[in-house]
Structure 1
Amino acid sequence: MPDIYRADHVGSLLRPTEVKEARSAYQGGRMELSEVTAVEDRAILRVLERQKDVGMTVFTDGEFRRTVFQNDLVESVDGFVETSSPAVVRIWQGPGEQPTEPGMRHVVGAKLRQPGITDPFYSSRSDLLWEIAEIIRSEIAALAESGVQYIQMDAPRYSYYVDPRWRQHLRDLGEDPDQMFEEAVAADNHCLEGAQREGIVVAFHVCRGNNQSKWYAEGGYEAIAELLFGSLKVDRFLLEYDTERSGTFDPLRFTPSDKVVVLGLISSKEAELESSDKLLRRIEEASAFVPLERLAISPQCGFASTAPGNLMTEDQQWRKLEMVAEVARQVWGN
């Protein structure tokens, strides 16, 4: 089994004030892109050092160069065009008003191709899926060739298949959610082929939506657990388990003996710090389905999947990451 990182996280961190101000200045024509990059560079170096200081075992740049967690694809692939209406109707749940989703209002306006309204170009969702899968596959292979030791993919759409409302939405579109899920797993396996090699840990996060402390999907993993855990060619699954919206640990019984489950027990949405006693108790409960040696812990999602970030302070964010590392040390000793 590849190295087990016990204190994990999903990647995004709250943007420091200077990063937000630099981005705003650039958008307003008051700062050059090179100046923004310099601000981001300094901020990234600081958070890398801070992650080490709090005891994390995997490190991230905080996604400080992104507006939205998935913008990279749209920005690096020719064929997407802007549209005045959202490409996806999404009802967010949680505090405050419905958030805007900058950078996500794009549709396919030509055949996609990798440079340094979809129907006219792809006859089906499936055709589009496999075109994108091939592009992502080459990107993941490039990461592996560059020596990256830990590659983590995010899957916000997998939660559609556990939420009855979203399953019905897909049926209303004329789609079969079970067939779509099976094809999604196959496409992701295709994407990951380039990372299947010695010394690389491949991880997969099943997200339920994360935008300014809101979410859009809920439901236990039972409906997808057997196929997902048994078929997806990854080393570890990062699963959201911060609230009752995620269901019970029972579906973890389908986890193969060569996979690690990272329990997302600490909320990146709510500012209140979890108690270590409760976290230890939850880990013990999960160990009834997956042995302790194949478990790890993390926040349930990132702290800022979109640039505005979730509703907490940077200090509260770091206290939560400290808690991840502290509990990992208590349970596994590293």
Structure 2
Amino acid sequence: MTTAPSSRLPFRADVVGSYLRPAYLHEARARFANGEISAEALTAAEDKAITELVAQQKNVGLQVITDGEFRRSWWHLDFMWALNGVEKADVSKGYVFEGEETRAETARLSGKISGDNHAFIEHFKFLLQFAEPGITPRLTVPSPAQFLAELQRPENKPATDAIYPSEQALLDDIAAAYRTFIAELYAAGCRNLQLDDCTWGMLVDPKFAGAGGADTPNSTASCGCGQHGSTPAVSGKVQTLAELYLSVNNAAIEGAPEDMVLTTHVCRGNYHSSWAASGGYQPVADVLFGRENVAAYYLEFDTERSGDFSPLAKVSGDKQVVLGLVSSKFGELEDKQAVIARIKEATQYLPLERLCLSTQCGFASTEEGNIITEAQQWAKIALIKEIADEVWA
């Protein structure tokens, strides 16, 4: 038996968005970086890879399709670089994960921020051609709070303060840039936008939030949050930062069309099968689950690092929660009955009809990808679909 297609996003069997890049796309990107092929040749390789990816997503029975973030190097920085007033910059140290360090790049201000004519609009238009009845194209972008946090990194703050001496002016321009982008994206045909946000995942970790000693060797660890090692992050003022992130996120999506489904994905870091933070959602649950104006939350719940399900009681209204119970970090397939049991456990706090299932994060938040094979990636998604068909039949 299979579940009847749901017209409401998110779907019972869902995905976070990013997929492993095929080998020929890695090769094309490397050759382009070395000046061996043209931008047009790289785009052709991306087009081919995305076309093949969409076919695979449809074949496995997903109701949502993404471009796998195949045109990006990072899940967040590429979007920021394409905003007006933002430039790509090198830094002395990459984001530090558990036993891993990323490339040392960031997004830094070069002028006032605006969001018109963003390159991702054309990226979405390419994906839109594959839409059909029962298949929804989705775009994923970093949240406004994620962008704010990147601009407030110690390496970037001098440039940010030079252009925006007033924090409120900075917040206003970030929100306005996102509203412009959302309006243009909607006009291009998008009806499902996901805001990826690891700022909350960092706030719940004592070593980042300031409880239990922030000056640890890992105090600069990051999934791109940008706050690690800065004064606000180590001060323990979790509530102050939570209110700040909430305000910029809500301001950015204010006035969005009613038929555009806006969701958010909360993560604790996902790079090359490594992670950056630990901690349950309780410290931010009232603010994030109770007051952020999104339709659904994609939440990491694949390990004990994410805490228990009790904070879900704070999810307000009729918002949905997508339980990230299947790991994208390792290839071993989860036990089906164990996942079903955890879904049942979550119904202590939210009714089954408000729950969905996905991986805890994407398979390749950066172009490096997680340490998992493509066959294992698709087996994970097939398992999610199988479980969803059984649980919500």
Scaled by the length of structure 2, the TM-score of the pair is 0.78
- d(CA) in 1 for partners of 2:109, 2:10: 39
CA distance in 1, matches of 2:81, 2:174: 13
Whether the aligned pair in 2 keeps the contact of 1:51 and 1:59 (CA below 8 Å) is yes
Q: Say whether the 8 Å CA contact 1:138–1:191 is kept in structure 2.
A: no
Is residue 107 of structure 2 the alignment partner of residue 49 of structure 1? no
Residue by residue over 1:13-52, the C-alpha shift from the partner in whole angstroms, topping out at 9 and shown as x without a partner, is 0000011011111111111111111111111111111111
| SS of residue in 2 equivalent to 1:213 | coil
Is 1:111 the counterpart of 2:112? The answer is yes
Q: Kindly provide the amino acid, as one letter, of the partner of residue 232 in structure 1.
A: E
One-letter code of the match for 1:35?
Answer: A
Equivalents in 1 of 2:332, 2:239: separation in Å? 37
Q: Which has the higher contact order (CA 8 A, sep 6+)?
A: 1
Aligned length: 327
Is residue 66 from structure 1 mapped to residue 67 from structure 2 by the alignment? no
* Residue aligning to 2:101: 99
SS in 1 for 2:162: coil
2:72–2:367 CA contact under 8 A, matched in 1:
yes
Q: 1:208 to 1:39 in 2, by over 3 A?
A: same
Counterpart residue number, 2:293: 233
Letter paired with 1:109:
S
- Alignment identity in percent? 39
Q: Distance in 2 between matches of 1:309 and 1:129?
A: 32
Task: Name 1:8's counterpart in structure 2.
Answer: 14
Q: How does 1:205-216 map to 2 (within 5 A)?
A: 205-216=265-276
Tell me what 2:138 maps to: none
> Does the 8 Å contact 1:140/1:194 carry over to 2?
no
Q: CA RMSD in A?
A: 2.1
Query: 1:26 maps to what in 2?
Result: 32
Moved more, 118-127 or 210-219: 118-127
1:160 corresponds to which residue?
202
Offset from partner CA, 1:247-267 (integer Å, 9 cap, x none)? 000111111241111000010
Stretch of structure 1 that moved more, 104-113 or 130-139: 104-113
- Asked if 1 retains the 8 angstrom alpha-carbon contact of 2:89 and 2:108, the reply is yes
Q: What one-letter code is carried by the residue in structure 2 that aligns with 1:92? A: F
Return the alpha-carbon distance in structure 1 between the equivalents of residues 206 and 256 of structure 2: 33
Listed one character per residue, the Cα deviations across residues 223-255 of structure 1 (whole Å, up to 9, x for unaligned) are 111221111111111000000000000111111
The answer (yes or no) to whether the contact 2:77–2:107 under 8 Å persists in 1 is no
Task: Give yes or no for contact 1:99–1:212 (8 Å, CA) kept in 2.
Answer: no
SS for the counterpart of 1:138 is helix
Quick one: which amino acid aligns to residue 179 of structure 1? T
Partner of 1:128: 170
Do the aligned partners of 1:202 and 1:235 also contact (CA within 8 Å) in 2?
Answer: yes
Unaligned runs of 5+ in 1: none
| Cα distance in structure 2, aligned partners of 1:155 and 1:126 | 21
Correspondence 1:141 to 2:199: no
* Structure 1 partner of 2:192: 150
Instruction: Say which of 161, 180, 197 aligns to 2:258.
Output: 197
Are the structure 2 counterparts of residues 272 and 151 from structure 1 closer, same or farther at C-alpha, using a change threshold of 3 Å?
same
Distance 1:164 1:100 in 2: 22
> Take 2:81 and 2:244, find their aligned partners in 1: how far apart are those partners?
25
Amino acid in the other structure paired with 1:251: P
- Find the counterpart in structure 1 of residue 330 from structure 2: 270
Q: Distance in 1 between matches of 2:168 and 2:334?
A: 42
Distance 1:4 1:98 in 2: 32
**Offset at residue 115 of structure 1 (A):** 5.7
> Does 145-154 or 13-22 show the bigger shift?
145-154
Report if aligned partners of 2:174, 2:248 keep a CA contact under 8 Å in 1.
no
Residues 124, 311 of structure 1: alpha-carbon distance in 2 compared, 3 angstrom cutoff: farther
Aligned partners of 2:328 and 2:362 also within 8 Å: yes
* Residue ranges of structure 2 left out of the alignment (5+ in a row): 1-6, 118-158, 215-226
Which residue of 1 is the match for residue 147 of structure 2?
none
**CA distance change for structure 1 residues 193 and 20 in 2, over 3 Å: closer, same or farther?**
same
Given that residues 92 and 215 in structure 1 are in contact (C-alpha distance below 8 angstroms), is that contact kept between their aligned partners in structure 2? Answer: yes
| Counterpart-to-counterpart distance in 2, 1:324 and 1:84 | 39
Q: Deviations over 1:207-238 (max 9, x none)?
A: 11111111111100011112211111111110
Quote the Cα distance in structure 2 between the aligned partners of 1:42 and 1:82.
27
Could you report, residue by residue, the CA deviation over 1:101-123 in whole angstroms, capped at 9, with x for unpaired residues? 36x32322333344633221122
Q: 1:36 matched to which residue of 2? A: 42
Q: Does 1:173 align with 2:231?
A: yes
Identify the residue that residue 243 of structure 2 maps to in structure 1: 182
1:317 Cα offset (Å): 0.5
Paired amino acid for 1:173: T
Q: CA deviation at 1:89?
A: 7.0
CA distance in 1, matches of 2:163, 2:317: 42
Q: Secondary structure at the match of 1:118?
A: helix
**TM-score scaled by structure 1?**
0.91
2:219 counterpart residue number: none
- TM-aligned CA distance change 1:232 to 1:115, over 3 Å: closer
Secondary structure at the residue paired with 1:208?
coil
Q: d(CA) in 1 for partners of 2:255 and 2:42? A: 33
